[in-house]
Amino acid sequence: LQVKQKKKSALPSNKTLPQKLQNTEKNTWASITRQGNQVTPAIPSLSAIPSNTPKHLRADKEKGKHPKLFTGDDRLFLRLTKEHEWQPLAPSAIRELICKHLECSLTDTLLIRRTATGFASTAKDKETRQLLLDKSSMISAQNAVIEPASDLVTYHIRNVPVAIQSPNNKVFVTKDMVEAEITRVTQASPTTVRPHGKTKAGAPYQSWLAHFPRSHAPRVGFRIFDESGLALVNKPRQNILQCKRCLGFHSTRGCSRAPACANCASTMHLTFECKGLIRCRNCGSPHKSDSRNCLARPSRTGPPSKEQLVTIRRMGQRDYHAAARANA
């Protein structure tokens, strides 16, 4: 018995075996089958590891993005009249004219875009922007004005009475009266007040727009003259564009289609040479292409679908042939 115990003690244990031999012992078939029913420990993912940094900062670091900070409108607006000689010029030519009259470099202005009242330019930094503003009086000789973007809030006041009946006479509402009434009701004076839209002759009501500085704008929902509609923030709708070249419903800028006659929509002659019947370019009906009664004209909700256009053009073709037979 003592000899057997000595022999057993002479055998090396797993603890005394080298690392390579221990790995081979664990990878044997018998060791794998013994460990088959054991559940392997789950390895935690990186998202499950607790961290001291907040979640939104960790997400920004992972995406490589930083939270966006609101910055005001830093554009400079070049105000031009509709008949100004600079209106048809390209933005690159406007940049050269601005640099010429303000005595600055071409690299001071990064981007110039066309607007409804002229052009909008973006300076390369705040110092250059302030320098261009200081020199804006040098361009006034060209009947042009350079001014910063105005941070205004516009309120739309509906159903303002056109006239107020007093005990003695009937007083028509003027711009000064509207401004004074808004100041009385809201305790805030607007910068400008103007009528909105077109009013039919004899209409009892009309709409007005009031512009306030954003920092001193009153709360929405006030009324003037005790009978107007609620004053709400004005959300202007985008105008429907129609090309002056091909008479399609898109912007004229960049259009490469053949010019169309404004009378008969033909591309074979100019408008002053036309001797044909009036015909719409878009629906084929016997009316001009810029008519508001055109069924193919896009609405505020969007343009008609392809199936609707097929039906509209088929109806327009029928009406045009009927008008042509009547004039024959």
- Model confidence at 27, pLDDT cuts 50, 70, 90, reads low
Residue 55, pLDDT > 70, answer no
Q: Residue 285 has what pLDDT? A: 92
Q: What percent of the chain has pLDDT over 90?
A: 32
pLDDT digits (tens, 9 = 90+) for 271-302: 888 888 999 999 999 999 988 889 999 987 88
Each residue's pLDDT tens digit, 114-128: 988 899 999 888 888
142 vs 84: CA distance, rounded Å: 9
- The pairing of beta strand 163-165 with beta strand 152-161: unpaired
Q: What is the pLDDT of residue 70?
A: 40
Neighbours of 181 (CB within 10 A): 20
For the ranges 13-17, 21-25, 39-43, 139-143, the maximum mean pLDDT occurs at 139-143
Condensed to tens digits (0 to 9), the pLDDT of residues 219-246 reads 999 999 988 999 999 988 778 888 999 9
- pLDDT greater than 80 at residue 303: yes
So what's the pLDDT on residue 312?
93
What was the pLDDT predicted at 197? 84
Q: Is the predicted pLDDT of residue 14 greater than 80, yes or no?
A: no
As a whole number, mean pLDDT of residues 151-155 equals: 89
Instruction: For residue 39, name the pLDDT band (cuts at 50, 70, 90).
Output: low
Distance CA 245, CA 261 (A): 9
Average per-residue pLDDT in the chain? 81
Share of the chain above pLDDT 70, in %: 78
| pTM exceeding the 0.85 threshold for the entire prediction | no
What is the pLDDT at residue 142? 86
Residues 6 or more apart in contact with residue 276 via CB below 8 angstroms: 261, 263, 264, 266
Residue 146: exposure state from Cβ atoms within 10 A (0-12, 13-18, ≥19)? buried
- Summarised one tens digit per residue, pLDDT across range 252-277 is 888 889 999 999 989 998 888 888 89
Q: How far apart are CA 168 and CA 27, in angstroms?
A: 110
Q: CA–CA separation, 74 vs 297, rounded Å? A: 36
Name which residue leads in pLDDT, 79 or 44.
Answer: 79
Stretch 80-86: mean pLDDT: 89
Predicted confidence band of residue 157 (pLDDT cuts 50, 70, 90): very high
Nearest CA-CA partner of 156 in 224, 72, 239: 224
